[in-house]
Amino acid sequence: MKRLKITDDHGFTARKLRKEERKIKDASLRQRVTAVRLIMEGYLGKEVAEMLNLHRQSVSTYVQLFNEGGLEKLLDKKTPPGKSPYLTEEQQKKLKHMILHSTPFEQGLGMATSWDTRIIPSYLQNQYGISMTRVGVNKMLHRLGLSYTRPTYTLAKGDEQKQRAFVQEMEMIKKLMTGDMVVLYADETHIRSYQALRATWAEVGKQKQIPTYGHHASVTLFGAVNVLDGKVVVQQASACNTGSFLEVVQRILQTYQGKYVLLVLDNARIHHAKQVQEFLRKHEEPIMFFFLPPYSPHLNAIERLWKWLKESVIANRFHKDLHAIEQSGNSFLEYIDNHCEEVLQRLGCAA
């Protein structure tokens, strides 16, 4: 079989195509660009087909479209390759909306509160008279830009209007920033010896056993992350109190000496304490606190860093004492100190 080649790059490099991928919301169109980029990077057609769960002929068609007319022709929906879909475009939109905004129970499909590939084929058969396998449904859902993930909590008390205003204000601040300013997102976290267990591979019928002493040792970390360069300032504390918080603030000022620091914080009591207010009055030139809207932890970038810490080096690991917890935390901090670009990617701040 003849190897697929990009005969006319139309001024695009693999890096430029990757940037275009991020802009495309339509999953099927984004997949076309990904296929072309992978071919451009040197992968074989069959390898790309396996990676993207496509037929090799579809990959060939995408490359041909790109060679003939660049990105414009590749993204032209009038030339969809491959087999016609089971559902019309309108039916697919309705299905996606239903999955995202309702439960099987709300649709009268039993007691289940989550959609899965056992329930959806039954719904499609009853609603449209269309018979699809679970594998086929799974592929279709991925094409619709859906993925099977665990939900996360969101605080119902959060004011969406205030949250939107905060995001807009932060974007404006970043645009107006000068070279002598930095924006840091700060918060505290607790690393405990009994972290929640995470799913992992194990023998069928057996669960991985994580030892525990039954007592609860913990370490408190105060930290701040620079959302422009991925640098992190972290300090361990024996307690989560005002004094410990001010210690890390002083360390931040030392780290960014000569800079104006905008510190984004939540509304924890220690951040508003009288001792903190007095400190700010004495140091009003180099630092300013910028508070998040109430009940909006998802807007604090460092929360994603703490989640990464707990999932990567704390979860599913036995810590016999406080020192063991500290070692796990330190190994993570050493890693991120040398991988600032990965930190930015994890935060969603990468260019």
- 349 within 8 A of 227, measured Cβ to Cβ: yes
In a domain, 150, yes or no: no
Is this structure's pTM higher than 0.95?
A: no
pLDDT in tens, 168-214: 999 898 888 888 999 999 999 988 765 556 666 667 777 767 666 55
**Edge-first strand listing for the sheet containing 232-237:** 232-237, 218-226, 181-192, 260-265, 287-291
List, as one string, the DSSP characters of 148-185: --------TT--HHHHHHHHHHHHHHHHH--TTEEEEE
Q: How many domains does the chain have?
A: 3
Boundaries of domain holding 196: 160-347
Please provide residue 133's backbone torsions phi and psi, each rounded to the nearest 5 degrees: -75, 165
In a domain, 198, yes or no: yes
Distance of alpha carbon 224 from alpha carbon 302, whole angstroms: 7
Cα Rg of the chain, angstroms: 25
In a domain, 320, yes or no: yes
Longest dimension (CA), the chain: 74
Query: Looking at the structure, do residues 40 and 98 belong to the same domain, yes or no?
Result: no
Query: Looking at the structure, do residues 64 and 195 belong to the same domain, yes or no?
Result: no
pLDDT in tens, 105-158: 888 888 788 888 889 998 998 888 888 888 888 888 988 888 888 776 666 677
Distance of alpha carbon 288 from alpha carbon 271, whole angstroms: 12
Query: Looking at the structure, do residues 129 and 205 belong to the same domain, yes or no?
Result: no
Structure-token pair, residue 46 = 């069959």
Query: Looking at the structure, do residues 167 and 298 belong to the same domain, yes or no?
Result: yes
Query: Looking at the structure, do residues 167 and 39 belong to the same domain, yes or no?
Result: no
In a domain, 79, yes or no: no
Query: Looking at the structure, do residues 65 and 96 belong to the same domain, yes or no?
Result: no
Residue 322 CB neighbours (<10 A): 13
Query: Looking at the structure, do residues 122 and 257 belong to the same domain, yes or no?
Result: no
Distance of alpha carbon 287 from alpha carbon 300, whole angstroms: 18
pLDDT computed for residue 211 by the predictor? 64
Query: Looking at the structure, do residues 95 and 170 belong to the same domain, yes or no?
Result: no
Query: Looking at the structure, do residues 207 and 341 belong to the same domain, yes or no?
Result: yes
pLDDT in tens, the chain (351 residues): 688 999 988 889 999 999 999 888 888 889 999 999 999 999 998 899 888 888 888 899 999 999 988 888 898 876 555 555 678 888 999 999 999 888 888 888 887 888 888 899 989 988 888 888 888 888 889 888 888 887 766 666 778 899 999 999 998 988 888 889 999 999 999 887 655 566 666 677 777 676 665 556 678 899 999 998 999 999 988 888 999 999 999 999 999 999 999 999 999 999 999 999 999 888 777 899 999 999 898 999 999 999 888 887 776 666 677 777 788 888 888 999 999 999 999 888 765
pLDDT computed for residue 197 by the predictor? 62
Query: Looking at the structure, do residues 246 and 128 belong to the same domain, yes or no?
Result: no
Query: Looking at the structure, do residues 116 and 249 belong to the same domain, yes or no?
Result: no
Helix-helix angle 45-52:56-74, to 10 degrees: 90
pLDDT computed for residue 219 by the predictor? 82
Query: Looking at the structure, do residues 93 and 209 belong to the same domain, yes or no?
Result: no
In a domain, 287, yes or no: yes
In a domain, 1, yes or no: no
In a domain, 5, yes or no: no
In a domain, 114, yes or no: yes
